[in-house]
Structure 1
């Protein structure tokens, strides 16, 4: 940076001040970066510029604006320079390794150039390229041992920090707001295999075994920490099948279903009997409400129907009855003779 300032001083076109803010940012490939520069709207004849210095190349102008409010935007396919309230920002989307360099915000007022702030942006490619989790193939029952597998792909040639990566297992239950740490692997060198092919990634496989109970249901995550960054896997969801694995619970459910069926049948039978009693009571109440004259008329009709039926009962005639009949015949005969 000092060499650049000395060169600018020799050209009499710029100067470095003690108030220069310089920082370093490190991001991964594909990340988005926003650099901010303070803008004073009270300086009407001032312009601001973003300049990038890359080793081996000439300075590159990325965008410029005025100090006062201005709607103009300088935009390239991945870099955008525009105004925001009180600031002039530079936004880089989907960073690449070629974006590594020094970025300066420069203020130009008439023939005076001032470097306001500088940022050394370092783009690094992570050594861990993928974390893949393999879910269990069969359904899980309480008490069954479950083995979760986590495969870590890394490139040791691109590693930017010393030491091996660390692997952790987290579990996120349905009643927990944040995942909880449940296991940490030791030395990672024992589970890693180097591919014989040149420039091929290194594969490390980590297994985590546990006897699952009903309280262990949830989503298990494999996390890899390397060079100050943590990369999580896609997660493995463990659901405990309680109904098929517990015969006692199954029998209780069957007994409950049978009990409900019996109760429903008893309710139907009692309701049917109650309806029969209600019908009989209604008939009695109807008969009681009929007037007495109508009841007598109804009784006579019933009696007439009873007497209208022919009778086939034969009775034997007694002696007294035969005498009465004979006397009556004689009386009739005497009356006819008198005539």
Structure 2
């Protein structure tokens, strides 16, 4: 790779040798395929390269050799670059889905680069048997601490299934702040969640459930995603709105508690004041007097409290 980038920085890009050097080739995954490029044995001091371009990555050199007759073979994983009569070929053994890319055959001579041929190779995988992925909507309001169950239904037609890969179900959450969706749950075993349709040749239905106790930070849109056969299919999404508990009720409760404490404090102060006044009056009344009987004691208290005493002479 560093050698290829160094070469691309040093050489001059020349013109194409033909106006129709770019083609598209589509094959099924697992097939053997050979990409060909014209070669002249009279191209002395010239080198030929097969490079691959995948969007978002640097060019990758798959094989290179001198242009004139040379029996060298360059192997990279399941790809082989070699010479054939009048051709420079890149052979794939059992293509993979990851082989989908743009392939260029280039000639480099004296710091000049010429594109000989370009091929877009598309690897077509088996078609998934999924016909629909649906999610249920939440009808009841949700509050922090409530238990919420999200459901995802996957309909599949087994008669159209050309891929033996199982379904892998994942749950993603997308927030309203436009942040990247995050994976929150993955189903491991789903063999007991599927049932056949009531009619002959009707789709199979698998129901996947995801439950959790929600908090105020769990708000967002939850998506059920089914990955199978090199593809991923998303459901329509379930929006989870967390109902914010109003602070008015809690503030009212706090106000009532404070009011009760205030009333209680005032009542205690009044009672303490009354006890003090009664005690003071009683002591002033009784000073200098000899209490030989209950009558004298009674006279030491204000008249308003006489009915509280029952004196039997």
Calculate the TM-score normalised by the size of structure 2: 0.41
Structure number with bigger Rg: 1
Calculate the TM-score normalised by the size of structure 1: 0.38
Higher RCO, 1 vs 2 (CA within 8 Å, ≥6 residues apart): 2
Higher helix share: 1
